């Protein structure tokens, strides 16, 4: 028995534990007949079998075994399968656009098969004679159901507008999906923002983040309190199970320590929400940046006079405080080759173009010269004073003038030294760009900024430590990079260039950041 088990361990890669199987529909036998495993076939990617056995869930190299039993796949006409479930915001437009672009890029013929409003499939074929290569099945619902399908082994990829909850991650680990909080188990596909929208004729043009929270808590219930007409405010949000709605609770309501009002009208789709707000002269909603349609977007402002509008650039840099990264989550198991190729394609430069054209915010870095950053420079001048002499601002301008700011920025989770989700993705993006030689012969400067709480000298030191931590994380991730091919520096200017008011948790969060400047 020991010899048999040793042979099994040598031949197989154990990826997780599972309960004893109730049925056994395949038998895998090594070419020399020395090892034989029976179990329930969980999947086949064209190269590897995934089998639930009495020893747990095992992944077996198909080249080393023969398969017998009713569950054995057809090796000659193998069709790869990929099940994707979750956020309708991502599933309705973004993922289909990427699948179609991926097929076009590889010369595949593609067919879309619609089952109902939530379920559809993409079939990929070779151009001639038209053999089917893959079936990508979609269930476009919400983030909660996407994670539920992933945990139930009914989906290979979950689409979400929020990070996985600790309870979901724990259940996933117990189910053998691996550590779903690990960087390798998720990916930021694109970026989005949570935008306050009103009807086009509404005279109100701006709202503070605190006011927005109080509106959706029902504490501010008249437009007169916001400079508008003396009329009641109608509230609109997506369904509670929506990832965007949950992100509103996490990023807007929780920091304000306020509950959502019970008078909110809920909608299943972003388009339905925006349509309702557009028809309601006294309504307000929080919509996805990509789905604001004909509604009027409100600018976020603060008591100090700073304002932030949701744009591609402010969302990409996370300067806009209510950003919503769009995640793909996948378990620690091998996906079919064509599925892996598709996921790799979603990170390519051409995929970033597709993401932009679909109305979402891509992650391709852009360079912004100092000369077109007038609002930021005005903010810097505004905070000059005894604690922050004008001479220090002049030194900052002299340092940054020959450089351009990358839209790749880094921020930390509230009350933590850990980078937030978008920033962790940015570490990988920047590391891959460095490894690929995108910045060879150039200079990268990691520049730390802080909020204005406390002495300016102390804030500069904190900002410097954050910039050094981000530099170290990027260089650690860029394992194959040659550091001699580029120059890397670290600078810190503390509170010298605020993006938002320091009178709120949101504003301070936006101001605490590490930027990348290039020459």
- Alpha carbon distance 285, 290 (integer Å): 14
Task: Name the token pair of 123.
Answer: 């079939």
119: how many CB neighbours lie within 10 A of its CB?
Answer: 15
Q: Is the C-alpha dihedral spanning 167, 168, 173, 179 positive or negative?
A: negative
Query: What's the confidence (pLDDT) of residue 125?
Result: 94
Q: What is the largest CA-CA distance in the chain?
A: 84
Task: Name the token pair of 18.
Answer: 């599972």
Query: What's the confidence (pLDDT) of residue 504?
Result: 76
Evaluate the omega torsion of the peptide bond into residue 129 and state whether it is cis, within 30 degrees of 0: yes
DSSP 377-397: HHHHHHT-SSSS-HHHHHHHH
Which parts of the chain have pLDDT scores under 70? 1-24, 305, 374, 379-380, 382-388, 415
- Alpha carbon distance 260, 331 (integer Å): 33
Taking alpha carbons only, the member of 444, 464, 460, 441 closest to residue 452 is: 460
Class of domain 192-316: alpha beta
Query: What's the confidence (pLDDT) of residue 1?
Result: 40
Same fold across 80-187+329-341 and 192-316: yes
The CATH homologous superfamily of the domain defined by 365-518: OmpA-like domain (3.30.1330.60)
Backbone angles phi, psi at 338, to 5 degrees: -70, -30
Q: Measure the CA angle with vertex 39, ends 35 and 41; round to 5°.
A: 115
Query: What's the confidence (pLDDT) of residue 484?
Result: 79
298: how many CB neighbours lie within 10 A of its CB?
Answer: 22
Q: Which secondary structure element, helix H or strand E, spans residue 132, and what is its range? A: strand 132-141
- Alpha carbon distance 453, 469 (integer Å): 21
Query: What's the confidence (pLDDT) of residue 384?
Result: 63
Domain spans of the chain, in order of start: 2-67, 80-187+329-341, 192-316, 365-518
The answer to whether residues 103 and 110 touch, using CB atoms and an 8 Å cutoff, is yes
Question: Would you call 412 helix, strand, or coil by DSSP?
Answer: strand
The answer to whether residues 462 and 508 touch, using CB atoms and an 8 Å cutoff, is no
Query: What's the confidence (pLDDT) of residue 139?
Result: 96
Which CATH number applies to 80-187+329-341? 3.40.190
Residue 22's Cβ-count burial label (10 Å; 0-12, 13-18, 19+) is exposed
Query: What's the confidence (pLDDT) of residue 6?
Result: 39
Backbone angles phi, psi at 80, to 5 degrees: -70, 140
The answer to whether residues 159 and 87 touch, using CB atoms and an 8 Å cutoff, is yes
| Length of the chain (residues) | 519
Kindly calculate the radius of gyration of the chain based on its CA atoms and give it in whole angstroms.
Answer: 26
Taking alpha carbons only, the member of 83, 122, 90 closest to residue 104 is: 122
Task: Name the token pair of 390.
Answer: 């004008």
Taking alpha carbons only, the member of 373, 512, 378 closest to residue 448 is: 512
396 CB-near residues (< 8 Å, 6+ apart): 380, 493, 496, 497
At the second CATH level, the architecture of 2-67 is Roll (2.30)
């Amino acid at each position: 028995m020991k010899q048999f088990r040793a042979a099994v361990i040598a031949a197989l890669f154990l990826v997780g534990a599972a309960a004893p199987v109730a049925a056994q529909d395949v038998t895998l036998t090594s070419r020399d007949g020395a090892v034989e495993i029976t179990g329930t076939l969980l999947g086949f990617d064209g190269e590897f079998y995934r089998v639930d056995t009495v020893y747990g869930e095992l992944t077996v190299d198909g080249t080393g075994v023969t398969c017998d039993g009713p569950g054995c796949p057809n090796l000659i006409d193998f069709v790869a399968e990929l099940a994707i479930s979750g956020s309708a915001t991502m599933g309705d437009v973004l993922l289909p656009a990427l699948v179609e672009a991926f097929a076009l890029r590889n010369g595949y013929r593609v067919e879309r098969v619609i089952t109902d409003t939530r379920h559809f499939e993409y079939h990929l074929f070779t151009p001639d004679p038209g053999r089917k290569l893959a079936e990508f099945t979609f269930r476009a619902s919400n983030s909660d159901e996407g994670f539920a399908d992933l945990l139930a082994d009914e989906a290979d990829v979950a689409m979400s507008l929020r990070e996985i909850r600790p309870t979901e991650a724990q259940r996933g680990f117990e189910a053998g999906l691996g550590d779903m909080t690990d960087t390798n188990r998720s990916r930021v596909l694109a970026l989005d923002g949570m935008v306050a929208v009103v009807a086009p004729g509404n005279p109100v043009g701006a709202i503070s983040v605190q006011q927005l929270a109080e509106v959706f808590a029902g504490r501010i219930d008249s437009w007169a309190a916001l400079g508008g007409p003396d009329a009641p405010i109608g509230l609109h949000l997506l369904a509670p199970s929506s990832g965007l709605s949950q992100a509103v609770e996490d990023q807007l309501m929780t920091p304000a320590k306020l509950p959502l009002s019970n008078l909110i009208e809920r909608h299943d789709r972003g388009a339905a929400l925006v349509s309702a707000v557009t028809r309601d002269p006294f309504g307000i909603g929080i919509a996805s940046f990509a789905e604001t349609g004909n509604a009027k977007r409100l600018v976020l402002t603060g008591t100090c006079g700073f304002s932030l509008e949701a744009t591609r650039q402010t969302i990409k840099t996370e300067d806009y405080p209510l950003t919503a990264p769009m995640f793909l989550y996948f378990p620690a198991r091998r996906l079919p080759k064509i599925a892996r190729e598709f996921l790799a394609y979603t990170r390519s430069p051409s995929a970033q173009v597709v993401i932009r054209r679909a109305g979402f915010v891509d992650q391709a870095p852009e360079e912004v010269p100092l000369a077109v950053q007038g609002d930021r420079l005005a903010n810097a001048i505004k905070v000059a004073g005894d604690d922050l002499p004008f001479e220090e601002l002049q030194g900052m301008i002299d340092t940054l003038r020959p450089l351009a700011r990358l839209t790749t920025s880094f921020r930390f989770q509230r009350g933590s030294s850990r980078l937030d989700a978008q920033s962790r993705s940015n570490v990988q993006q920047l590391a891959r760009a460095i490894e690929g030689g995108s910045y060879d012969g150039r200079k990268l400067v990691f520049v730390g900024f802080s909020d204005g709480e406390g002495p300016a000298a102390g804030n500069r030191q904190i900002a410097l430590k954050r910039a050094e931590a981000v530099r170290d994380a990027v260089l650690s991730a860029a394992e194959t990079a040659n550091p001699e091919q580029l120059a890397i520096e670290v600078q810190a200017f503390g509170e010298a260039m605020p993006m938002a008011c320091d009178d709120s948790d949101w504003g301070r969060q936006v101001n605490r950041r590490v930027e990348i400047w290039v020459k």
